[in-house]
Amino acid sequence: MIAFVRLAVFGFIGMTAAYFLLSVYSRSVERERLEREWDDDPVSGDDPAARDAYIEAGLQDYRKSLRRKLIWLVYVIPTVIVLLLVYLNDT
Amino acid sequence: MKYAKWTILTLLALIVFGFFHYTLPQHDIVRIVNTYQERQDLDDWTRIFWATPDDQATGLINRDVQFIQAVDADGDPRVYRNEDTGWHWPPYFKFDTANLQTEAEDLKSTSAAPQWVSVTHYGWRNVYFSTFPNAVGIKPVAGPDVTIIPWVNIVILTFLAFILFMLRRMWLQFRERMIDPVIEDVEEAWDSVDAQADQATAKARGIWGRFRAWLGTWKSKPRR
């Protein structure tokens, strides 16, 4: 039982670290994409405020996007795999 | 220095390879000849080669372990231990030791009428330290020459390579977005500090400074 608790606790810590890293990375890539998009074709010239607003709006959209929600799979997939292994290895 | 570097790198590669070779599942095509149970002392360093069942008291220094004896196609003996890994490392989540022992017992065969089985196992057999691979699964197969594609290993190693690749991508992204701009800022700041310093020295010289500099021009130049 103690071993199970240990697996659950360390597994949760590991998955949380992976979730954190992935979400930071994904947002950073998205922001870079938005910056490039603006710099390639500025909608309203060289106005830094407009650029910031454009990027901010893009990140708002990203917050509601499917890709961001898919990062939750970092928690789901390992848990499902462990349950599958427990089932498959013992039948 | 070169030798030290290569020694360390080789050692690291060996440790990584050894870790995976011990932990990942392998398949043996064997014929099971017998099963037995033997009391094992678990009080020396070879303890790390035995499992830690959940119901084992921490102070226990010996206990019964089940074994499966087999012979491969060449006639070489293969002996497996049969222990629960439970929730411990390595993550096989094996709780069905008694069932596996029963299956092994059921699949026993003689050399006259051989029943070949594929035994999935991890771990190392070492006769000097009395270590045994742990059997995790037994499956009857058609003959001693069947090929078994190690799908589990392919998936696990591919996934680990993917994780390494992603970590590298993350690091590169972090460096590009967070560290490089800071370095550029520092360089710019340093340049402006340099320029300011030049201005400041020029200012501080003032009239008196210029006079001294002019006086200095009368001094004899250092001999070359």
Domain boundaries, chain A: 2-26+45-88
Whole-number Å distance between alpha carbons of B77 and B133 = 13
Angle at B161 between CA B125 and CA A21, to 5 degrees: 120
Q: What is the dihedral of CA B171, B177, B182, B185, to 10 degrees?
A: 150
How many distinct structural domains can be found in chain B? 2
Same domain, B156 and B131: no
Q: Could you identify the residue written with the tokens 């959209």?
A: A61
Same domain, B132 and B113: yes
Question: Rounded CA gap, B94 and B74, in Å?
Answer: 29
pLDDT digits (tens, 9 = 90+) for A25-51: 999 999 999 999 988 887 767 788 888
Separation CA A71–CA A68 (nearest Å): 6
Residues B33 and B71 reside in one and the same domain: yes
**CA–CA separation, B31 vs B37, rounded Å?**
19
From A25, A29, A89, residue closest to B94, measured CB to CB: A89
Mean pLDDT of B93-107: 94
In a domain, B217, yes or no: no
To the nearest whole Å, the CA of B92 is away from the closest chain A CA by: 7
Separation of alpha carbons B216 and B210, rounded Å = 10
- Separation of CA A28 from chain center: 10
In this structure, the answer to whether residues B36 and B109 fall within a common structural domain is: yes
**Pair (B144, B155) in one structural domain:** no
- B182 and B125 belong to one structural domain: no
Residues B55 and B129 in one domain: yes
For tokens 């550029």, the residue is: B184
Q: Which two tokens stand for residue B198?
A: 């030049």
Please tell me the distance from the alpha carbon of residue B26 to that of residue A34, in angstroms, as a whole number.
48
pLDDT at A21 over 90: yes
Average pLDDT over residues B136-163: 94
B116 and B171 share a domain?
no
Token pair of B43 as six digits? 């009080």
- Find the domain containing B187 and state its range: 150-192
Whether the predicted pLDDT of B74 surpasses 90: yes
The percent of residues above 70 in pLDDT, for chain B, comes to 95
B30 shares its domain with B141: yes
Which pair of structure tokens corresponds to residue B58?
Answer: 């921490």
Alpha carbon distance B9, A74 (integer Å)? 32
Residues B176, B68, single domain; the answer is no
Q: Highest-confidence range of B19-28, B183-192, B213-222, by mean pLDDT?
A: B19-28
Contact yes or no for B170 and A29 at CB 8 A = no
Q: Is B65 exposed, middle or buried (0-12, 13-18, 19+ CB in 10 A)?
A: buried
- Shortest alpha-carbon distance between residue B86 and chain A (Å): 8
What are B's interface residues with A at a Cβ cutoff of 8 A? Answer: 52, 54, 86-88, 91-96, 99, 136-137, 166, 169-170, 173-174, 177
- Of B148, B163, B178, the residue at which a domain comes to its end is B148
- B184 and B81 both lie in a single domain: no
Determine the pLDDT at residue B100.
Answer: 95
Same domain, B102 and B161: no
Residue B153 has pLDDT above 80, yes or no: yes
Tell me, letter by letter, the H, E, C secondary structure of A14-76.
HHHHHHHHHHHHHHHHHHHHHHHHHHHCCCCCCCHHHHHHHHHHHHHHHHCCHHHHHCCHHHH
Tens digits of residue pLDDT in A54-85: 899 999 999 999 999 999 999 999 999 999 99
Is the ipTM, as predicted for this complex, more than 0.95? no
Which CATH number fits the domain that encloses residue B104? Answer: 2.40.50
> CB–CB of B159/B129 below 8 Å?
no
